[in-house]
Structure 1
């Protein structure tokens, strides 16, 4: 449903529950609309979309005629001030003001309301201030204060909370050491993107029902404690972008329900412990650490549902295990910036997740969306809600050798292929044009030879190309996307290449303008002969025109008299007119 909310709706004086959520209403709601709805106990307005088209235009001194138990307002314009009419709503058990464009300090009177809440969701606003520990909650409660400007230490509330989202705020200081004892029933915890410091508290081991733990993008340090055997139901762990160090505890391998393990951008070292019991893994991101040793073969043997495998910026050695070819659901493979050697496996075309569309692509779990930085289009792009749409292979900056496997061209869903800064030899596969979804292709700084395949002209989605510093030769293809690759650095370091945009051979593709010669040779004589008919025709035309008029005047006397008599009359008329104008101007002055 859309448009203005019908006026007749506000005449239902006996209305108890008003649920019009999930529609695209527009216009304004004022206190006059609620004047006859004194019996209201529940209100639900808005939609899941971030777009806002419905505005609450309510004065600050309005006192509602009702006492609500549940208020659910989402993606409506309620701000910019915090709604003061909530002050007399002392019977609320659920309060949701999500994405309501409130940019204000949360008033003290709100925190002091004597409420027993089941849900408090005021996320995605610009609320500020400090959050006290005075709120009370009933069993299985949800609290979501994410994406605001709250500061100070993390609040500790009653033990009844099960879902706690405090991400993307300004909370600072350490995570309370007793958080596990105070809120032992937590099932979902997200305190990411704050300024928290210190170590991971040991009391996390008391959260035996925890399924989602997201503490990324903070300033946490120290090693990971050994409490994972006490949290058997964990599905998602994201501790990325901190300053954590040491080794990954072997007890992580006991989490058989684990689907998302993201520990990137820390200082972890040593070899990766065995995770072969984590057979449900969907995302394994160990990137940007100091891991060493070979890439574990168990990844390909025990994780058949893996979609994202990121080991970039580590110190892994050895070759790429052939077992990884069994990851048939893989979307993103990133082994860049390591010390890998050997050939790229020829069985790489078994990665059928890069060939066909799968229905089970979602990576969201219990409100948590995975985030991952992917090198694409020449820069690092961070994907979250659309991460499942990314298809990428990045093996750059290693010591890989041999030829590019022909089978890689069958991965038609591939959007990014980066094999740069290796020692690859041989030709670019002739049927590379089969990668019809490719947007980024980087084969630079290798030892590739031969010509650029003409089939690359069919890569109509390609918008970032780098073939520099190889041994390629021949003409650069033209047409389609190649007309847009006007930067010579794309091809530099290939002395045998020619054609635009390189200076060698580019002028051959353009029409050279003819410049007249000035040496007085045979070309001048030929040019003069070509102009002779034009000169003759001009002379004949002039003679015909001149003598056609003045010749008749010279021969015919009566015509001559009439002609000059006409000129005299015109002259006299002009002189009379000028004289009259002069006389008029003298009188006016």
Structure 2
């Protein structure tokens, strides 16, 4: 292998340790790119192998079971390195505060590496970064001011699941930024301005307060927006309709009030709409079923919606998650619910995971945070209408929803004789008694 330039063994079933002499075999070869990601490699002593691979431009060992401590001494001879991916292992990256690397990285993937508790200083000297991932890295404290401006070409930034604090600066000048994920931290204050180029914005589970800003500042290419689990208040602005390419919208678990703005129906690409656990009121708009042909998940639980459940919702043929629990809804359950083909089980598996076939392998790895952050499993097909004031007979059409894994109609004014329904491998009992809780409830966290 004296002329080998690229070696890609990723996404196989390789297991066990690799020999510590691995790098020795390539020491005098032109090898520049090494991919070993997504295998079952263990006990790979990187600190012994790395000095022998110092001519590499790309080093990718993500998604294995590697452990050990890596210091700047193991990386000091690397001068050509542009891509470093150590993510999703059990590695510790221990670099001193005065370390200045001899390389300039374009892609830094250190998610799940232990780098804290202090915020690392060495990225300050990396000014060509396109992608930086320091998620779940046990970093705490306030983010230094210099960090937000280290690279004028930054496109993707992931800092989620640390213990980071402080207020976000005005990021509108970061015109190259496409992805910002800082969920699961302790950032606070009002929402700042973001660049109009942003495509993915995930601020889930922080301490942001105040009202939602004018959505026109986000630009029209925003696809994913999560502001869930914060302390936001006020009304959802009419400018939400400006986000015509939005597919995922998570505003749940805040203190938002008022009605669902009519302008939202302009967001015809919506796949998931999560507004649960707020103080929203009014009726459920009929256009939810008329405008969103691709909607797969809708969550309005724990609000103050009233009136009937609109029959137009039955037009949502791809719907596999519906949660209207803990509202003031009245009237009957629509007879047309058998039109939910996902719940009936007449459609092939069509989950939000597979909507964007345009993702590359590297981009798909970075999308894993979406589902871990929103606690939404699209494989758990759910209908929850509990804790309302629904009345009338439980429609026989419910028995056609054999694709459901979770059903909850408890705490309503529904009536009828006992029905024993075979739900795949589950048995669900719907009681004829008023205000009686069903004995089976799902335990997965709502979104």
Question: 1:73 — aligned with what?
Answer: 86
TM superposition shift of 1:46: 1.9
- 8 Å contact 1:74–1:98 — kept in the other structure? yes
Task: Give the aligned partner of residue 303 of structure 2.
Answer: 314
d(CA) in 1 for partners of 2:293, 2:75: 59
SS at match of 2:102: coil
Q: Which residue of 2 aligns with 1:436?
A: 424
With over 3 angstroms needed to count, the CA separation of the structure-2 counterparts of 1:166 and 1:444, relative to structure 1, is farther
1:345 to 317, 323, 334: 334
- From 356, 374, 379, the counterpart of 1:389: 379
* Of 171, 186, 189, the match for 1:195: 186
Shift of residue 167, structure 1, vs aligned partner? 2.2
Q: 1:29 pairs with 37, 45, 62, which one?
A: 45
Normalising to structure 1: TM-score of the pair? 0.62
d(CA) in 1 for partners of 2:435 and 2:184? 43
- The Cα of 1:281 is off from its aligned counterpart by 1.0
CA distance change for structure 1 residues 343 and 372 in 2, over 3 Å: closer, same or farther?
farther
Matched, 1:171 2:164: yes
Q: 2:291 aligns with which of 299, 302, 306?
A: 302
TM-score norm. by structure 2 comes to: 0.81
Cα separation, partners in 2 of 1:119 and 1:224, compared to 1, 3 Å: closer
Q: Say whether the 8 Å CA contact 2:136–2:159 is kept in structure 1.
A: no
**Are residues 171 and 427 of structure 1, via their aligned partners in 2, closer, same or farther at CA, if it must alter by over 3 Å?**
same
- Equivalent residues in 2 for 1:487-566, closer than 5 Å: none
User: CA separation of 1:134/1:14 partners in 2, compared to 1, >3 Å: closer, same or farther?
Assistant: farther
The answer to whether the 8 Å contact 2:71/2:94 transfers is no
Unaligned 5+ segments in structure 2 are: 1-13, 357-362, 442-447
The answer to whether residue 213 in structure 2 is matched with residue 225 in structure 1 is yes
Larger relative contact order (Cα-Cα within 8 Å, sequence gap ≥ 6): 2
- Measure, in 1, the Cα distance between the counterparts of 2:114 and 2:353: 28
Structure 1 or 2: larger helix share?
A: 1
Question: Where in structure 2 are the equivalents of 1:2-41 lying within 5 Å?
Answer: 2-5=15-18, 7=21, 10-15=24-29, 16-22=31-37, 23-29=39-45, 33=49, 37=53, 40-41=55-56
In the alignment, which of 116, 134, 138 is matched to residue 126 of structure 1? Answer: 138
The one-character-per-residue Cα deviations of 1:335-363 (angstroms, maximum 9, x if unpaired) are 11111111111111111111225343034
Q: Cα distance 1:78–1:383, how it changes in 2: closer, same or farther (>3 A)? A: closer
Offset at residue 74 of structure 1 (A): 3.1
Counterpart residue number, 2:401: 411
Give the CA RMSD over aligned residues: 3.3
- 1:90 corresponds to which of 102, 112, 125: 102
Unpaired runs of 5+ residues, structure 1, are 136-154, 374-381, 450-463, 469-589
Partner of 1:241: 229
1:284 corresponding residue in structure 2 = 273
After superposition, the Cα gap between the structure-2 partners of 1:420 and 1:42, relative to the gap in structure 1 and judged at 3 Å, is: same
* Secondary structure, counterpart of 1:251 in structure 2: helix
Matched-pair contact (CA < 8 Å) for 2:419–2:431: no
> Which whole-Å CA distance do the structure 1 matches of 2:429 and 2:241 have between them?
36
Give yes or no for the alignment of 1:254 onto 2:242. Answer: yes
Q: CA deviation at 1:86?
A: 11
Q: Within 1, Cα distance between the matches of 2:189 and 2:97? A: 40
Give the Cα separation in 1 of the matches to 2:370 and 2:35.
Answer: 31
Paired residues in the alignment total 411
Contact 1:422–1:446 (8 Å) recurs in 2: no
Over alpha carbons, which structure has the higher Rg?
A: 1
For the 8 Å contact 2:196–2:217, the answer to whether it is kept is: no
Output the CA distance in 2 between the equivalents of 1:269 and 1:75: 40
How far did residue 423 of structure 1 move? 0.7
